Structure 1
Amino acid sequence: MKKILLLFVLCVSFTVSAQEEDEDMTNLNWLTDLDEAKKEALASEKPILLYFTGSDWCAPCKMLKKDFFNTEAFEEKAEKFVLVMIDMPRRTDVISEEQLKKNEKVVSKYNASGGYPNLVALNDKLNVIGELSGYTFLRETDRHFAFVDAVLENY
């Protein structure tokens, strides 16, 4: 009985730590609906930053999340964007089937090459104004900061 109880406690603690890991980007206002993002971009006169991720399978996506998106430096720049996360998980319990269908439409239009992670900047008319794909195991975010800076300078 003690072994079963210990096993249960371990499972619960791992689940809690996994949930805490997923909540890292909660300081940022990530939308999941491109139509909503377009309305917000029109109202705020900000560019849209699409982030294509495979949250439960893409190792570079997980590293980019930690090294780039979860930094104070990005958080400051994020205020000048309408942020949209397009997640394409392999597990069926990560997002709803309805959300997955919406995401597939956005992927087919703005990430047809299928690269993950992928950043795509759009104007308020949903035209592409920049794109940056990939993240290496060297974990250097210079390209990503240069990309968001260039989008902001040219918008």
Structure 2
Amino acid sequence: MKSFAQDWQTNFDKAKKIASTNNHNIVLVFQGSDWCAPCIKLDREIWSTQEFKNLAKEHFVLLQADFPKRKKNKLSTEHQQHNNALAKKYNPNGYFPYVVVLKANGETLGSIGYEKTTPELFFKKLRAFEN
């Protein structure tokens, strides 16, 4: 699986704890890292950029819910069940990529899909859900 250059969490409880401790919100990303072209673009154009990482580190805890399809990228059963539970609650329509901004307690503030934009503008859209 492609690893993100930033510290992406994969456990919701851990992400909530970090967010609560740091008074940050959570950016939950539903993606198909090995099959979803817009997901891969979002990673390359936004998540992997130094600009986004610098902006996000003081504001968000990043949480990844990956749904790979290739056998070699298969998640553990426990990890897949964890992601399935997140999808059931926050992405019931199964959109990919799907980005949800959450409070530290798990309350949804807003959501967004893939957009061709700059890291700064994408960050501003995520922050706009906080107001």
TM-score, normalised relative to structure 1: 0.75
**1:78 maps to amino acid:** A
Partner of 2:20: 42
Give per-residue Cα distances to partners, 1:62-109, cap 9 Å, x unaligned: 011001111122111221211100001112432212101100000010
In 2, distance between residues paired with 1:73 and 1:149? 15
In 1, distance between residues paired with 2:17 and 2:123? 25
Greater RCO, 1 or 2 (C-alpha within 8 Å, sep 6+): 2
Report the Cα offset of residue 114 of structure 1: 0.9
Partner of 2:96: 116
**2:117 maps to amino acid:** E
Say which one has the larger Rg.
Answer: 1
Greater per-residue helix proportion: 1
Aligned residues: 128
Partner of 1:8: none
In 2, distance between residues paired with 1:140 and 1:109? 27
Q: 1:75 aligns with which of 43, 53, 56?
A: 53
In 2, distance between residues paired with 1:42 and 1:116? 27
Report the Cα offset of residue 41 of structure 1: 1.1
Match runs of 1:127-146 below 5 Å: 127-135=107-115, 139-141=116-118, 144-146=122-124
1:33 aligns with 2:15: no
Q: Which runs of 5+ in 2 are unaligned?
A: none
Secondary structure of 1:107's match? Answer: helix
Give per-residue Cα distances to partners, 1:15-45, cap 9 Å, x unaligned: xxxx7xx23x22x110001011111111111
Partner of 2:68: 89
Contact 1:121 1:151 in 2 (8 A): yes
What is the alpha-carbon root mean square deviation over aligned residues? 1.8
Q: How much identity, in percent, do the aligned residues show?
A: 34
In 2, distance between residues paired with 1:85 and 1:47? 14
**1:57 maps to amino acid:** W
